[in-house]
Amino acid sequence: MADVTDISYTTEEIAQLLKISKLTVYDLIKKGQLTAYRVGKQMRVDHSDLEAYKQRSKGVGQYSSEETRSLTPVIDAPANPPAVQVTTQGVRQVVITGQDMSLDILVRHIEKRSPGIRPLRSYVGSLDSLISMYQGHSDIVSTHLLDGDTGEYNIPYIRKLLIGCSYKVVNLMSRRAGLYVQPGNPHELHEWKDLAKPGIRMVNRERGAGARVLLEEQLRMHGIAARELMGYYDEESNHLAVAGRVASKQADVGVGIEKAATIVQGVEFIPLTVERYDLVLINKPENEVLIRTVLDILRSESFIRELGSISGYDLSRTGEVLFEA
């Protein structure tokens, strides 16, 4: 039997053990309340450090009020995000949220260019990313949210959620989104309105995901009630899982990005829109170096070349500041 002192946990396991979100775990690490270390791309926490954190927390209940608040986002008060802390080793840990592989490339470039910045990846959807930024738990968030009334991506949502914040919206890239269907498209699904065809079973993304918002906006604009779609509440947490459900014939259709269809065998992609994938960074003095680093990377030849090697990305506006408040 392994010595308990030899046990370590991933951030996902810590979140499950403490019954808190993964973003809250990252926030604890950033603030130095929970000691963690990197093994390859993964952050780990030793059992002894987890127990030490739990003992320190007992004086104020199982979790602090700040951790509890993060489980139920509140966005109707003036924003006052806490400053990101620096580790005792002088390395700043920053949380980058989102699921696209372009963010993993960005992380590698940050690590190579700025040894004083340690990126932590959090794989959450666009709306949850913006809420976590408002609460001060994320430093760079990615978003691809369509506002159906204006046809604009991201900025209408950012302006509503980041109330009282000063921020930059920077384009990372654009990509095609649409429908995953079975080979040969046997149900002849070519437009959004085709989702209302009788007998069609879909698989959906989780609430707050950009693909889910895209679907909801299209259904609203086409006068289709979600409750009428079989499988609408059958959810997966990423594009690959949605495409995989269609490929395995557990669903007839799903909404997602083109890239996943090139990875998953047995699924075809019907492009219906081009979505803009942007980054949001908070403007504050302690973020000046971080913002300058990210902008320099996005506009660098090496980053553009590496991102350009991935099919399906439009890089014509990469690194462009689209909006600033």
Tokens of 37: 């270390």
Q: Other CB atoms closer than 10 Å to residue 223's CB: what's the count?
A: 8
- Determine contact, residues 310/102, Cβ cutoff 8 Å: yes
Closest CA to 72 of 132, 17, 141, 11: 132
pTM above 0.85, yes or no: no
Query: Residue 222: is it exposed, middle or buried by C-beta count within 10 angstroms (0-12/13-18/19+)?
Result: middle
pLDDT of 315 reads 97
pLDDT of 30 reads 66
Query: Residue 193: is it exposed, middle or buried by C-beta count within 10 angstroms (0-12/13-18/19+)?
Result: middle
pLDDT of 3 reads 58
pLDDT of 108 reads 96
pLDDT of 5 reads 60
pLDDT of 204 reads 97
Closest CA to 177 of 100, 97, 229: 100
pLDDT of 102 reads 96
pLDDT of 68 reads 28
> Per-block average pLDDT, block size 10, for the chain (325 residues)?
69 85 75 77 82 75 34 35 47 92 96 92 90 90 94 94 93 97 98 96 94 95 94 95 97 96 96 97 94 97 95 95 96
pLDDT of 39 reads 74
pLDDT of 70 reads 36
